[in-house]
Amino acid sequence: MTTIEINFDGLIGPIHNYAGLSPGNIASASNAGAISQPRAAALQGLAKMKRLIDRGLVQGFIPPPRRPAIAALRAAGFSGGDRDVLAAAAQDDPVLFNNACSASAMWAANAATVIAAADSGDGRVHLVTANLATMLHRSFEAPDSFAMLRTIFRDERCFAVHPALPGTQHFSDEGAANHMRLAPSHGARGLNIFVHGTARGSRFPERQARRAGEAVARLAGAQGLHMLQSQAAIEAGAFHNDVVAVANEHVLLAHAHAFADREALIGAALRAVPGFVAIEIDSIGLDEAISSYLFNSQLITLPEGGMALVLPGEAQAAPRVWAAVEAILEADNPINEAIVVDVRESMRNGGGPACLRLRVPVNAAARAAIDPRFLLDARRWDALCGLVERHWPERIDAADLADPALWDAVGAAHDALDILLARI
Ligand code: SUG
């Protein structure tokens, strides 16, 4: 039974904005206070999904949770009707309020870690919801993501969806952004690599604790290799491993300085994965890798064979980076195509093509068990585009977040999304 990988992209929510909420994420910090374009952002994301559908890939989506995150504000003691809660939080604790207004669930690579059925202890696909405990705004996602993943992957014969690990720094977990799977094929047994940061004093917060990767592996019944990110990569702004490395089936594409101990990683992969191919790039610096998001490409297997890199336009615009891409395409390796996408609105918050998607490997039975509303065909894709065009705000100035008119507009967009999901 053939196993394929389905990419579930986060549909970018109607409140997408630039509030500079992620220290260590250079794009987020440098665009703080800029004017965002939620409608264009969501349409960019949908256009990326369509590019893959048109190439014959199965594509899913994950709806955005309702924002502002009123439940998080209530948990912090704000009470009354929803509008009272929002008004009081905006007034009394604008920092908390802004954190509750983030559309950050769009970066579905952080929603959960996915362990393939071939690697898990019980033959099911395991999804361990990420607690995103390091960043306040992102920590609000975990309960919503857990509920949504349970809806999409509700069939317990094929899927096990786990709640988030305890939300403390000891277990800080950023999901699939710090996990790579190397295997001869999507269906074969693979090597799970969990990449963590260091608690030993970087100027940036450690976002992924080793203990979290260990817990995820245990929960899913999987074996794992736990690798430390290089200090240089963290200092250059690699707040997640997936901005300096990407793996697909038997291919690893990584910056030469992504890991503290590359020899250990390459050695383990050579031993565990027949046909393993390592493509390590040192012709560009870590800073160029991070500003262009070359390694935040999706590396996908094409239905006709071979692999493609789905790159952000920023990688094509940087001459040295693009030269590196051309060299990859020309060299003797499975990657033979570059698909360039425009996800600029997401990029300005530090989220490239790979951040926007959660990859889920499924065999035919598991694929059939997915709630079909979340798998895109032409009709559903058109419906989502129409919804976004009608209801997503054209622009948001960070100063507008406290404006009740914006809460109404965003609430109406979520209501329309709920109606669409009930009949899609
Ligand atoms: O967690 N940006 C996200 C970007 C996540 C990228 N994901 C992966 N690399 N997989 C983050 O730093 C910025 C939001 C703001 O500043 O408003 C933000 O959360």
Kindly report, residue by residue over 42-93, the tens digit of the pLDDT: 999 999 999 999 999 999 999 999 999 999 999 999 999 999 999 999 999 9
Q: What burial class does residue 413 get, using C-beta atoms within 10 Å of its C-beta: 0-12 exposed, 13-18 middle, 19+ buried?
A: buried
- pLDDT tens profile 254-287: 999 999 999 999 999 999 999 999 999 999 999 9
Q: Does 203 have pLDDT greater than 80?
A: no
Q: Which atom in ligand 1 lies closest to the alpha carbon of residue 132? A: 1
CB distance 253 to 282 below 8 Å: no
The DSSP result for 46-83, as a single string, is: HHHHHHHHHTT--EEEEPPPPSS-HHHHHHTT--SSHH
Residue minimizing CA distance to atom 7 of ligand 1: 355
Tokens (6 digits) for 286: 């870590």
pLDDT bin (cut points 50, 70, 90) of residue 117 is very high
- Please give the model's pTM, rounded to 2 decimal places: 0.98
CB distance 26 to 237 below 8 Å: yes
Tokens (6 digits) for 199: 């608690």
Q: What percent of the chain has pLDDT over 90?
A: 93
Closest CA to 357 of 283, 280, 296: 296
User: In CATH terms, is domain 4-67+102-423 a member of 2.40.30.330?
Assistant: no
Distance 353 CA to ligand 1 centre (A): 12
Distance 280 CA to ligand 1 centre (A): 25
To test ligand 1's pocket by mutation, which of 16, 17, 28 has the most ligand atoms within 8 angstroms of CB?
A: 28
pLDDT for 199: 65
CA distance 247 to 249: 7
With b for 16 or more beta-carbon neighbours within 10 A and e for fewer, the 111-128 pattern comes to bbbbbbbbbbeeebbbbb
CB distance 191 to 273 below 8 Å: yes
pLDDT for 90: 98
Domain positions in the chain are 4-67+102-423
Q: Which atom in ligand 1 lies closest to the alpha carbon of residue 109? A: 10
CA distance 86 to 403: 10
Residues with Cβ within 6 A of ligand 1? 18-22, 25, 28, 102, 104, 107, 109-110, 135, 138, 177, 239-240, 242-243, 349-351, 355
Provide CB contacts within 8 A for 415, sequence distance 6+.
Answer: none
pLDDT bin (cut points 50, 70, 90) of residue 141 is very high
Distance 22 CA to ligand 1 centre (A): 6
Q: Does 398 have pLDDT greater than 90?
A: no
- Tokens 């100035």, residue located: 397
Q: Does 409 have pLDDT greater than 80?
A: yes
> Which parts of 266-378 are beta strand (E)?
277-281, 298-301, 307-312, 335-341, 357-362
To test ligand 1's pocket by mutation, which of 7, 9, 16, 21 has the most ligand atoms within 8 angstroms of CB?
A: 21
Per-residue pLDDT averaged across 155-163, rounded?
98
Q: How far apart are the first and last CA of the chain?
A: 29
DSSP-based three-state secondary structure for 39: helix
Which sequence positions are flagged as catalytic? 174, 240, 355
Range with the poorest average pLDDT among 190-204, 320-334, 339-353 = 190-204
Cα–Cα distances (Å) from 163 to 18, 172, 216, in that order, read 28, 14, 11
To test ligand 1's pocket by mutation, which of 62, 67, 110 has the most ligand atoms within 8 angstroms of CB?
A: 110
The DSSP result for 199-231, as a single string, is: SS--SS---S-HHHHHHHHHHHT---EEEEBPH
